[in-house]
């Protein structure tokens, strides 16, 4: 009898469990177009259990029947919460969310949080943004889609650095490039010349060029102390998070893209039109990409492979890239999910000599080494052309890159309210830079006499970077009446190692490509170079809500870092913020119609983030030098046991506003960021015999506003037109240099970038000439403030237009208030191009020609205001074809860098100096001998099966 009762009890319990589960299905469509929405996340509220809608907008999900609520989220759409209430079929319409307030944000928040709960700002680039604009590399994507940051392409040479700036420079010891993560793994973000570098000029390398843009689901860019606090002691420049696609349930979907186009040199900034005839020649650009994604409720996958090639805009430049990336997501159990993403890239660049080298073809032509080109007769011009063509044929500078990145995570839904996540990943990058200078090349450059042999040389620089990242998060959510809580406890560990080696051979047999055939073999004086760093941090964050309107954020991260001085312990970085969705209050709704103000949110916060010192900067060092066949010791760093991180403290306040039923939206932020304990390395007294030592003695302030306004005058099912303009300001000043003398951080002897109290960081210092009415030099102001490389106002302007299935996009950017140095003009002055009949070939007045260039340095500092059209894009979406056997077909055209309007006589973005040595201050502002980013005209076809 007992056994029977037990079996009955088990049966009843099983029946209750079965009855507690039910299947809900439905279709999700767009409110305006009534078209099905693919890729909508359908979740059981309070958990990470859910799925994505398929290509027909359909979903089917097993849910508990006891009062569960479904949560529907999609980028650009308002989140929908729908109680199940026993229903098995629920269809949903999703309307537009102009301010993206319902968007779920990952950066710094563990497993995600709604944007409406945050007191900080961030910018998001979606896969749809990337797919609609057929760009070829990451910095171009950022340039076209981030309205509150500056991304400037410093050179047209392939694989070279971009200067990325947001909220001004916060450090005199580091560049402005943000930290970069891919799926939670910290990756190499070097955006300047490696420590062991070659002498081919000022074309600094960039690892951003390695990062493939295919298979990206979204990019999040965060900045400001409160937003970056949870990234700790290296996030003061901001954090760039890249998330890859994990695939969607349903049948396999194949996507393919073909891009073909031309790449041509930009001639807008040439002093001599003939330079284009000597150097530039159009090239062919081609890109092929294929991806497949699919899965079911248990396993989803996404795989993309691509190949890219262009033969540049001159006879030397060429680049090819191959990349593969896959992501797998598997529900190991109902509550345990595993995700793995893996990417491999292989790249090869060929470059010309650039900027600060006498071998630069472009620089020599523009600076007048061959005379005034527009006055040469045809025979003289042909002779120059023949020589430069021969130099191009003999130039052999290559940079080859191999990169592998893997990220793996486990997410465990411990309960509907408690989620744990752990992740681990690796980024490995190796590049080999080779410069082969044959005897024939040296003869063509005039550096060897005709008839000589075996005078050539080969130089090689190798760099291996390895980063490993581990992290964990525990997130607990709770709702009690009108109160909600999201508590995050997490930790992160990362270690980076950077190993570099340089070696060379001289007196190389003609035709050799390796130093094995060199009579003399040498190691680079700076090699081998080894740098390693370890960082560990824990963080705690609380997001507390009242009536889903008022939110309070609290958080702190504590970091320990191997670069800190021996007497520096763990460092804490706190944050606090509030946000208030006032438009959801009854008194606001009663006072202001929703047709006038549909959404209003005010926010304010305070937070701290840091920049850690360079590894080994804290240590006392001796330097070993060879002398007469023996070792000779000299002093290196004196050492600093108290060396700690720079600390940027940011106060910000802002307003998010939606008006006229979503036809107008505004985001406005005021910020004031002060870097205390700024690391300065002033020169030591010559009597000490020591190198400059880093100290936490400075203070730097950045103050400004960020604003983005979108106006949508037309919005119907068939026509959609919007204009977006951003206006950002920044005032940068060194509020204290710690009592040290003014010191130089870049530039040249006659005109450099300096650090001084009450002036902008890295301001231009040099002689300011005073001329009389005839142009004659009458006086000189020594060591004058000649300007700043930092724009005081910058922003973007974009137009988006859609007519049915035709879409057009135009994006531009501008800046005012900055200056730059026209170094090409200095070289023209050296080449006597300003005298006699050739007046106005330089900035120097004719009457002052012949003066010492030290006395007239100020004439070469120019205002660098500009307005540039970055992208013009057109696309037409044919939709499904051939009885739905083709799920989608889109054709498009993209023009990159088509128009430039500038105040200066040179391209204000390119720089042949001061982009930055590895891990050091970089501001740019010195333009010479450097081709501008080329124009690209690209046609594309995207097909989905």
Q: Look at residue 169 in the predicted model and tell me its pLDDT.
A: 92
Which of 819 and 157 is assigned the larger pLDDT?
A: 819
pLDDT, position 511? 78
pLDDT at 4 over 80: no
pLDDT tens per residue across span 815-825: 999 999 999 88
Which secondary-structure segment (H or E) carries 705?
A: strand 695-715
Q: Residue 283 contacts by C-beta under 8 Å, 6 or more apart in sequence?
A: 262, 263, 264, 310, 311, 312, 313, 317, 318
DSSP count for the chain of H helices, then E strands = 10, 49
Mean pLDDT along residues 392-419: 92
pLDDT band (50, 70, 90) for residue 143: confident
Residue 922, number of CB atoms within 10 A of its CB: 29
What is the structure's pLDDT at 107?
57
Tell me if 246 sits within 8 A of 327, measured CB to CB. yes
pLDDT recorded at residue 59: 85
Do 377 and 370 contact (CB within 8 A), yes or no? no
Q: Look at residue 210 in the predicted model and tell me its pLDDT.
A: 80
pLDDT at 212: 76
Give yes or no for residue 87 having a pLDDT over 90.
Answer: no
Provide CB contacts within 8 A for 837, sequence distance 6+. Answer: none
Is-contact 352 362, C-beta < 8 A? yes
| Confidence grade of residue 427 (pLDDT, cut at 50, 70, 90) | very high
The pLDDT of residue 811 is: 92
Q: What is the model's pLDDT at position 75?
A: 67
Q: Write out pLDDT tens, residues 778-821.
A: 999 999 999 999 999 999 999 999 999 999 999 999 999 999 99
Cβ atoms of 125 and 141 within 8 Å: the answer is yes
Cβ contacts of residue 440 below 8 Å, gap of 6+?
Answer: 394, 510
pLDDT category, 34, cuts 50, 70, 90?
confident
Coil, helix or strand for 388? helix
892 in Cβ contact with 134 (< 8 Å)? yes
Q: Report if pTM > 0.85.
A: yes
Asked if 806 and 874 touch (Cβ cutoff 8 Å), the reply is yes
CA angle 509, 513, 518 (to 5 degrees): 40
User: Which pLDDT band holds residue 165 (cuts at 50, 70, 90)?
Assistant: confident
Q: How far is CA 311 from the centre of its chain?
A: 25
Residue 115 CA: distances (Å) to CA of 513, 598, 668, 769, 836: 55, 17, 15, 53, 65
Position 607 pLDDT exceeds 70:
yes
pLDDT of residue 838: 46
Q: 100 pLDDT exceeds 60? A: no
Residue in 849, 658, 829, 651 with CA at minimum distance from that of residue 96 = 658
In the prediction, which pLDDT does 617 show? Answer: 86
Q: What are residue 900's DSSP bridge partners?
A: 868
Residues 6+ apart with CB under 8 A from 729: 704, 705, 792, 793
Q: What is the pLDDT of residue 856?
A: 92
> Bigger pLDDT: 102 or 920?
920
Residue with the two structure tokens 């301001």: 763
Q: What is the pLDDT of residue 723?
A: 95
Over range 137-156, report the average pLDDT: 83
Give the rounded distance of the alpha carbon of 360 from its chain centre: 28
- CA 432, 433, 438, 440 dihedral sign is positive
Q: What are phi and psi for residue 792, nearest 5 degrees?
A: -85, -20
pLDDT at 450 over 90: no
Q: What is the rounded distance in angstroms from the CA atom of residue 203 to the CA atom of residue 352?
A: 9
Burial, 10: exposed, middle or buried (Cβ in 10 Å; 0-12, 13-18, 19+)?
Answer: exposed
Residues 6+ apart with CB under 8 A from 884: none
Q: Which residues pair with 59 in a beta bridge?
A: 26
Res. 290: pLDDT tops 80:
yes
Q: Is the dihedral of CA 314, 157, 167, 739 positive or negative?
A: negative
Q: Do residues 700 and 735 touch, judged by C-beta distance below 8 A? A: yes
Percent of the chain with pLDDT strictly greater than 70 = 92
Quick check: 257 pLDDT over 60? yes
Q: Are 608 and 649 in contact (CB under 8 A)?
A: yes
At 15, the pLDDT band (50, 70, 90 cuts) reads: very low
- Of the listed ranges 56-60, 435-439, 824-828, the one predicted with least confidence: 56-60
Higher model confidence: residue 389 or residue 38? 389
For residue 18, pLDDT beyond 80: no
Alpha-carbon distance values, 594 to 597, 599, 722, 874 (Å): 5, 8, 21, 35
* Per-range mean pLDDT, top range of 206-220, 235-249, 622-636: 235-249
Task: State the residue for tokens 């403290």.
Answer: 649
Please compute the mean of the pLDDT values over residues 484-498 and round it to a whole number.
93
208 cis-preceded (ω within 30 degrees of 0): no
Percent of the chain topping pLDDT 90: 46
In the predicted model, is pLDDT for residue 111 greater than 60?
A: no
Distance, CA of 608 to CA of 233 (rounded, Å):
9
- Element housing 139 (H / E): helix 138-145
The pLDDT-based confidence of 526 (bands split at 50, 70, 90) is low
Smallest CA-to-CA distance from 529 within 206, 161, 194, 921 is with 194
Tokens representing 241? 């998070």
**Concatenated DSSP letters of 402-445:** EEEEEEEEEEEEEETTEEEEEEEEEEEEEEEEEEEE-HHHHHHT
Q: What is the mean pLDDT of residues 737-744?
A: 88
Q: How far apart are CA 925 and CA 938, in angstroms?
A: 30
Residue of 32 and 843 predicted with greater confidence: 843
Place of tokens 């007469």: 628
Print burial letters for 875-897: b (CB count within 10 Å at least 16), e (below 16): bebeeeeeeeeebbbbebebbbb
pLDDT of residue 843 exceeding 90: no
Residue 863 makes CB contacts below 8 A (sequence gap 6+) with 787, 818, 819, 903, 904
Tokens encoding 278: 């000597």
Mean confidence (pLDDT) of the chain: 86
Q: Check if the beta carbon of residue 351 is closer than 8 Å to that of residue 157.
A: yes
Which pLDDT tens digit goes with each residue over 899-921?
999 999 999 998 866 566 676 78
pLDDT at residue number 425: 96
Mean predicted confidence (pLDDT) in 72-94 = 81
Phi, psi of 187 (to 5 degrees): -120, 165
Q: What is the pLDDT of residues 669-681, one digit of tens each?
A: 999 999 999 999 8
Q: Is the dihedral of CA 132, 135, 138, 139 positive or negative?
A: negative
pLDDT at 16 over 70: no
Of 252 and 11, more confident:
252
At residue 106, the pLDDT reads: 60
Q: 926, 913 in Cβ contact below 8 A?
A: yes
Given pLDDT bands bounded at 50, 70 and 90, which one contains residue 648?
A: very high
- DSSP secondary structure, 211-234, as one string: S--TTEEEEEEE-SHHHHGGGTTB
Element (DSSP H or E) covering residue 142: helix 138-145
* 653 compared with 639, residue with greater pLDDT: 653
């Amino acid at each position: 009898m007992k056994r029977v009762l037990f079996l009955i009890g088990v049966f009843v319990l099983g029946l209750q469990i079965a009855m507690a589960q039910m299947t809900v299905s439905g279709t999700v469509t767009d409110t305006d177009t009534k078209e099905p929405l693919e890729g909508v996340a359908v979740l059981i509220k309070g958990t990470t259990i859910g799925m994505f809608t398929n290509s027909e907008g359909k979903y089917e999900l097993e849910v508990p029947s006891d009062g569960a609520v479904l949560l529907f989220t999609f980028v650009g759409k308002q989140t929908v919460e729908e109680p199940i209430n026993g229903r098995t079929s629920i269809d949903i319409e999703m309307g537009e969310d102009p301010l993206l307030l319902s968007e779920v944000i990952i950066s710094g928040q563990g497993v995600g949080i709604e944007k409406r709960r945050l007191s900080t700002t961030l910018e998001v680039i979606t896969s749809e943004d990337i797919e609609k604009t057929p760009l070829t590399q990451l910095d171009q994507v950022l340039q076209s889609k981030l309205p509150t940051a500056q991304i400037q392409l410093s050179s047209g040479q392939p694989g070279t650095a971009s200067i990325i700036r947001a909220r001004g420079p916060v450090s005199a010891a580091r560049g402005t490039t943000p930290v970069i993560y891919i799926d939670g793994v910290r990756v190499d973000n070097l955006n300047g010349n490696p420590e062991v570098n070659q002498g081919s000029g000022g074309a600094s390398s960039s690892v951003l060029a390695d990062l493939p843009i295919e298979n990206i689901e979204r990019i999040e860019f965060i900045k400001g102390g409160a937003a970056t606090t949870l990234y700790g002691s290296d996030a003061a420049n901001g954090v760039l998070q890249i998330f890859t696609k994990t695939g969607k349930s349903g049948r396999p979907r194949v996507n393919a893209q073909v891009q073909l186009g031309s790449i041509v040199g930009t001639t807008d900034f040439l002093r001599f039109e003939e330079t284009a005839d000597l150097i530039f020649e159009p090239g062919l650009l081609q890109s092929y990409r294929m991806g497949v994604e699919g899965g079911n409720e248990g396993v989803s996958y996404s795989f993309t492979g691509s190949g890219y090639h262009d033969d540049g805009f001159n006879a030397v430049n060429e680049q090819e890239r191959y990349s593969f990336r896959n992501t797998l997501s598997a529900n190991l159990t109902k509550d345990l999910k595993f995700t793995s993403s893996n990417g491999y890239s292989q790249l090869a660049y060929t470059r010309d000599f650039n900027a600060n080298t006498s071998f630069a073809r472009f620089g020599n032509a523009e600076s007048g080494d061959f005379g005034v080109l527009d006055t040469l007769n045809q025979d003289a011009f042909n002779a120059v052309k023949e020589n430069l063509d021969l130099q191009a044929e003999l130039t052999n500078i290559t940079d080859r890159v191999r990169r592998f990145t893997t990220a793996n995570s486990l997410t465990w839904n411990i309960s509907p309210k408690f989620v744990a996540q752990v992740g681990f990943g690796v980024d490995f990058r190796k590049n080999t830079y080779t410069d082969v200078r044959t005897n024939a090349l040296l003869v063509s450059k005039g550096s060897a006499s005709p008839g000589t042999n075996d005078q050539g040389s080969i130089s090689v620089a190798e760099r291996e970077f390895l980063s490993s990242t581990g992290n964990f998060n525990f997130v607990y959510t709770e709702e009690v009446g009108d109160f909600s809580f999201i508590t995050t406890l997490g930790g992160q560990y990362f270690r980076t190692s950077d190993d570099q080696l340089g070696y060379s051979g001289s007196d190389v047999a003609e035709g050799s490509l390796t130093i094995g055939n060199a009579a003399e073999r040498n190691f680079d004086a700076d090699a081998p170079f080894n740098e390693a760093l370890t960082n560990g941090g824990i963080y705690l964050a609380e997001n507390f809500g009242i009536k889903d309107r008022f939110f309070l954020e609290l958080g702190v991260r504590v970091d320990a870092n191997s670069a800190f001085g021996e007497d520096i312990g763990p460092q804490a970085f706190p944050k606090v913020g509030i946000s208030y969705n006032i438009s959801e209050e009854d008194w606001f709704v009663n006072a202001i119609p929703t047709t006038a103000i549909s959404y209003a949110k005010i926010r304010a916060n305070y937070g701290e983030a840091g920049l850690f010192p360079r590894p080994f900067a804290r240590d006392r060092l001796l330097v070993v030098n060879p002398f007469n066949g023996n070792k000779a010791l000299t002093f290196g760093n004196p050492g600093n046991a108290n060396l700690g991180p720079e600390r940027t403290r940011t106060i910000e306040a802002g307003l998010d506003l939606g008006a006229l039923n979503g036809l107008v939206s505004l985001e406005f932020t005021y910020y004031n960021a002060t870097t205390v304990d700024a690391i300065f390395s002033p020169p030591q007294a010559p009597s000490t015999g020591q190198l400059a030592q880093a100290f936490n003695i400075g203070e730097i302030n950045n103050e400004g506003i960020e604003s983005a306004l979108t106006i949508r005058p037309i919005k119907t099912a068939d026509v959609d037109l919007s204009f977006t303009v951003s206006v950002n300001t920044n005032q940068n000043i060194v509020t204290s240099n710690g009592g040290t003398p003014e010191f130089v951080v870049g530039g040249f002897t006659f005109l450099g970038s300096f650090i001084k109290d009450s002036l902008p960081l890295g301001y231009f210092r040099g002689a300011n000439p005073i001329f009389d009415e005839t142009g004659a030099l009458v006086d000189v102001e020594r060591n004058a403030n000649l300007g700043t490389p930092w724009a005081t106002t910058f922003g973007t302007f974009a137009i988006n237009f859609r007519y049915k299935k035709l879409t057009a996009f135009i994006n531009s950017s501008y800046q005012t208030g900055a200056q730059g140095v026209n170094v090409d003009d200095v070289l023209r002055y050296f080449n006597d191009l300003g005298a006699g009949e050739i007046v106005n070939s330089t900035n120097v007045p004719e009457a002052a020609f012949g003066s010492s260039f030290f006395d007239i340095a100020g004439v070469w500092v120019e205002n660098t205001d500009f307005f540039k059209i970055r992208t013009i894009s057109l696309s037409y979406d044919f939709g499904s074809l051939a009885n739905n056997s083709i799920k989608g077909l889109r054709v498009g055209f993209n023009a990159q860098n088509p128009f430039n309007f500038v105040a200066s006589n040179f391209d204000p973005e390119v720089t042949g100096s001061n982009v930055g040595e590895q891990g050091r201050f970089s501001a740019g502002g010195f333009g010479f001998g450097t081709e501008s980013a080329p124009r690209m005209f690209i046609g594309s076809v995207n097909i989905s099966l």
